[in-house]
Structure formats: structure tokens, C-alpha cells
Structure 1
Amino acid sequence: MKREERIKLNLDSLCVYKGIFSEKVGDKFKTLVDKLVNSNTLGECIVAYNEFTYELFKENKDLSFKEVIVENMLLENNPFNIFLEEKEQVPDFIVNGIRGELEVLSQIASVNSKDIKDCLLDKYDEQESIKKRIDSLLDWGVGEKSYIPKKCIDFEALKTLLINGIDWREYTENLIGFHKKNGTGRATAYGAFVWERFDNEEEGHLREIIDPDPIRLSNLIGYESQKKEIVSNTVHFLKGVPANNLLLYGSRGTGKSSTVKAILNEYYEEGLRLIEVDKKQLSDFTRIIRLLKNKKQRFIIFVDDLVFDENEDSYSALKTILEGRIENRPSNILIYATTNRRHLVQEKFSDRDEVNSKDTMEEKLSLADRFGITISFFAPNQKEFLTIVDGIVKDRGLYIKEEELHREALKWEKWHNGRSPRSATQFVDWLEGELSILNNTVL
């Protein structure tokens, strides 16, 4: 049997993992193999080769076909891993079948550009010019280095075993254990997501953030009591004991959103995930619940800059969510929101003139009270502002006399954006640039 026929036989032998080769890189690879087996035209084969290589390059900058296969195998849903997520056990006959598929997958994933070029040369080697054309095609998967895990999570540990391994059958129990503990889907690997729903879509979807803001709590100077309270509530949530929805209220630039992002980075390896939802899409909350309720991870639904106009639909949606009358909010979901307005709904003078003005005002003020805890971030005074500046300067390793630093910082807050952690960071950004030019160094 020719090598391209063996590859095609392996592809045709897949059952549980056949979905890997139904879209994107996998689909282009399957098309390439079909052309190698069935086409009598070199041009068609070269086109298929380049289309596959292009798709692989978009997906993986190292052109590692094996890494793409491993990621799809671990992240895409299929009947096997969904069954494990729900039941946490699987019959022996299915385990034996999965073991066979892993053997086949490891053989497919080991294919590289040299193998494909050899197939082409076996079919089309009549002329030296053709050989040169085939040899000139962009290589992929040749001479790959050992994979080093990027993070200390189960996904990276198993990914490392598979990429660096040869026969994946020996990792069958590792795979089963991974899905039992972590479940399925992209939340097993990624920490931050955005909920998206475009105008032409009936249902929204989660899009993972490949490179989320890396900020840590140690980078946020000041507001220690606020951070402590948020950390405490989050730890309760992660441990599965009662925890509250949080409303972070305060002046702009005081670090409310940054604190929530930093919380994710602190507890990502412990299973915390963050999903940012625009207030206009809060009506999708039922859909989000159904996607997340059986997941092993714990999710913070993050709504930033929350403020409502009167009679806005999303106001009623959030109120219903917080009251719990919509589909019961599962124990693995909390809501963290930030706002510059203590009472969330814009008040009009006309409200005070209504016959039942008291009821109207009470209704508008009640939404914030439905959050279990409200944490206030007030603008810092001058001493606190300078302390924040000092902390950022120290963290960046900049050297400037304290007297000069404070003088310039106070000038900055008067002439620019006032006193806030954001303003302090903007000032230090400017200062670092000035010092860099002054010292004639490239940072």
C-alpha cells in the first residue's frame, strides 16, 4: 500500500475524532490526501498542498501540524469527552476503541511535509524541473523541537505528553483523567472569553481571548482593603461555598476593571474563568447559563461600565438575573460588574414630579442593592496618589529623586486627568519615555 493510501485509510478509520478533519486545518489536510490518492494532476496536488500549508500557518506560527491536531483533540467537543464530563466514567469497550483511535491519530499527526513531498515525487518525478518545484514548497512539521508547557495547568501537561510522545495509546488513561477532571471545551485551556452576538446571528457564542491583559494584583498599588474583599469573595466561590455577586463602584480610572482582570490571572490555574458580556447582551444570559452550567470551571460574568437608561431592556434582564427568576443561576457562575454610578440607572428630574415618585425612585435605586456586595473605589487624595506613583516607579525600576518625581506628578494631575491610578500610570509612562530619551537608551 502506498504511503498516501495509508494516510487516507487512517483518516477514514476515525470515528470519535473525525470532526478534527471536517474544518480549517484538518479539512485542508484531508483534501490534500484525497488529491494525492485520486488526482492525476500535479497542479491540483500543489494547490491542495499550499492551501493546507497556508491554513496551518494561520493557525500555528511554528507550522506544527502535530500541535494543531493535539489542541483540536483536547478542545473540540465529541460524544466521548461529553460523556466523560457528564458521567465521569466510560465502558471498557469504548476505552478500547479510543485507544485504537489514539494510535491512528498519532500516526496522522506524525506526517510532515517531507512525507507529502515524497508522495509527490513518487508520482511526478519525470523531470528535474518538477523535482525542484516540489522541493521548493514550504516545509512544515520537519525537525520539530520538544514542546515545553507554557502554563501550569492540566491542559498544558497533557498537551506536552502528546506532542512529545510517539504512540498515543499509552496516554489513554491520561486523556480520560483529563476530561473527568476538567470537562470539555475551550475553557479547559483559555481563561478569558468575550460573549459575541452579531446582528445577523440568532445565538451568540464565546470567543476566547488568546492574550488577555497580564496584569496581576501586585501591579495594582493602593486600594488594599477593596482588593482583599474581592479576593476573599472569589476564594469562597472557588472553594464552592456561598459567595456574592459584586458591584465595583467608583470614580473612573481607579482600577475597578483592572482588579477584576488581575483576579483572573491570580486564580486562573485554580479553575477561574472570566467572560466579558456587554450590557446590551444581558438578555443572552439564559443561553450563557446553558453553555456553562455543566462545566468543571468556575465563571465570573464580567459587565464593565454598567449604567442604564430608563426603560432599557437590559435593565430588566439584569434585574431578573440577580433575582434568580430566570433559569436558575448555577453555582459555578457569579456576576462582577463595574460602574461609575452608585445607583446604575440615570435619574431624571421628571421622576421627582410623578404622583408615585417615591415608588419610581425606590425602583431605580433597588438594582444596585441586588448585588450581594458593593465595593467602593474612591479617587485617591494627594498623599495616596503620590504613593501610587512611587509604587509604579519602583515596580518599573526607574531612578529619579523623590522630590522631583512628586513635583512632576502633581503638575501632571493638575494639567491632565486628575488623581487616579490610571492617571498615575499615564504619568509614569510619560516619565519613562522622557528618562529613556534623556539617558539615550532604548527600552
Structure 2
Amino acid sequence: MNIPRTFIIAVIVVASSTVLAQEPYDEEPINYSDKSVDNPIARLQEQVDEGKQSLEFDENHGYLKSVLKALEISPESQVLVYSKSSFQLQQISPRRPRALYFNDDSYIGWVQRGDVIEVMTTDPIRGEVFYTLEQQPEAKPKFVRDQGQCTVCHASSRTQRVPGGLVRSMFVMSSGMPHYGAGTFNTDQTSPLSERWGGWYVTGTHGEMRHMGNVYSNDRYKPENLDREAGANVTDLSEMFQVDKYVTPHSDIVALMVLEHQLQMQNYLTLASHESRRSAHHDQVMNKALERPANYVSETTTRRVQSAADKVVKHMLMVDEAPLTATIAGTSRFAEEFQAKGIKDSQGRSLRDLDLKTRLFKYPCSYMIYSKTFDKLPLDMQATIAKRLREVLAGEDTSGDFDHLTSADRKAISEILQETKPDLWKLGQ
């Protein structure tokens, strides 16, 4: 792999410092570094090892197409980033952007001429787990789990300090190198479009709204001076690079927006999982030491669970979502495929229904409430989230945080959840 020696040394030093510091997620009861068997990649590897699944290698994309098919990830989810901000950075440039593909629980990174396929996949208890797959033909290829280098960036304040994913927006030169001194933006649903997608290609229309994608920042003294107009409402990337080298010619704006929401939502769910499990574990230890009843729950645990639950509910109900002032439309079939996967109520409504006129979702409550991570949250955390949801949707919350939800929104979300997530709804009673 052609990576500068100084870069490798820096990563090793930082990673070593991280290991020595013993991050909380690597201790009991999370034990992040232990073998993860409950994730899509672990299950796929088991199938490959047993000869029940094969991964086909082709000269143009290596294992990419086969991995996407095995994980049921649509090529239509493709988004493209040209900033040199990942570990195969030497192979990335505006002429050879890195491609990302995703579904609800797995994320695949592919780089032209790259040595490996990069994988991030969800363990419902531990959070995101990282693997690589060598781009060499093998009878039984092996996904190799990362030993700590990825969490240097992927377990920080940007990811709620749990192993997770993130989207960053940067001021990027025509070489693909970011102007790090100009700062970066951590992008999620609360980010105004004006701060999104620096270093990313973006295909789709968005009216008079402007973003940072599709253009370069070549003024080193004033890197924020971007020709945003040149990057606006782009529907064809063929003049920027060889799109036929990729499985689709798109870097769909709707896919980018969904990805940003999903990654941070997953981070909050992982935080809720960790906080609930760690606080309960602490109570178990202290209850034994202090000879308290085994089921005693401390005030500290109650506060930690409530705090994490509040964060989940706020992100889930799209608090502080940046409003859209023009209609968004992508260029691929991503939006159509994404909505088709929705769990519908008796009126045909789904939390995957998109709005794309004034906000991302028609019914502003995250579809990640159906995720395996959510379903595997400890019961006390699920009950706390459910109670909070019912309070907000019933209009009993007076904080003002949820004023963006109209009475029609609250009614629709309540009805959808009662039908499609009845056990959770009952927990909140």
C-alpha cells in the first residue's frame, strides 16, 4: 500500500496512545475488541468459510460488486468523496474519487487501484466494527478486522465518543488535499446545506440552495472562497472524472442526506447501548461491594439512561433539522428504493417516506427505530425512550425543543408507531 511512512508512524503513535488510555468501550461490559459475531460481515465470513457463499473477483472492481450483492447493498446508494481524508488517501483524487455504498447496517468503501475494500458494519451492542478485504483473488477471501487504527478517528467527539461513522465537509484543493487550517464541518441533519459536502461530488437538483460540493478551494489564503455556483444543481459528473469506472455515474444528493442522518442516529443508539450497559454494570459491582439488593438502581444510572435517551429522541425526531428552502431531487433510483423498504401502517404510511421539499422525511421520526441496535437496547433504555416519545408526541413536553412538530406530525408518527412498533409503544405507558 503506497502510504507515506510519516503518515503510518503518526497513526501508530496515536493508535498506541488510544490503546494505552483504555477507552471505556474496550472495558467491561462492552468489550469492544473482543470477537464480534453478531454483525453482517461476521455472518458473511462464516458463510464463505463454510462454502455456502462465494465472492467473485473481477478485474475492474475486485470484490466490490460481489460484496454489495452478498450484503444486499444497492449500487444506487453510491456517493463519491474526493478529499484525501481516509487511509487509502494516496489513491484518492478528484479524478479518482472514493466510492461509498451503504444500507441500514453496513458501509463499503472502494477506491480505484486500492489494495483493499474498506468495511464498516454494525454490531448492535458494540457499535461500528471495521474490516478490510484485500483486493486479491482468493478461493475463500478473508475480511480482516481492524485492530484500533480506525477508531482513532471513528470514536471521537464527532461520533459521540463511541465507535461510529461520520461525514466530514472540508475546504479541498484541486489535488484532493484539504485545507485543514480552515477547519472542517461534521455533517448531519442539523447542518445547513451551505456547510455540506466540501470534498464530495453531489448529483441532483436543489434550486437556489448552495453547498460546498463539486468544486475546489484553491486560494490558500482564503480557502473559504468557493465558486458554489459552479457546483450547484449538477446532474452529470462525466466532465469531472471517468464515471464509467464506477458501478453507477451518481453521487446522489438524497443518498448523501440519508447517510448523514443514519450515521449520527446510529451513533446515538450506540451511545444509548453503551451508557445503559455500563451504568448497569457499575451498579452490579457497587451493589455487591456495598451489600445492596442486586436489583438496586442508583440515581447516577437513572440520570445516565435518561440523558442518553433524550439525545436519541431529539435526533430521532429531527430536532434542529436544517430546513430546506427548495425541492431536492436526486439523479439515481436511491430515493425510490429507500422508500420501498419502509414498514407501512394500514394507511400506507412509512417512516421511510421522504419529503424533500421542506425537510428530509415526510414523518419526522427516524426509521432507525426499527434497527437491530434499537431492538437490542436494554429494556430500561427502550422503556425510557418509549416514555419520552409518548410525552413528546402527546404534546406534554413544554421545553420548546419539539415545536417543529405540528399536531398532524405528532398524530401521524404516533399512529405509525402504534401499528408498526406496538411492543415499544406499550413500553412507554
TM over 0.5: no
TM-score, length-scaled by structure 1:
0.25
TM-score, length-scaled by structure 2:
0.25
Which has more helix, going by share of residues? 1
Question: Looking at CA atoms only, which structure, 1 or 2, has the larger radius of gyration?
Answer: 1
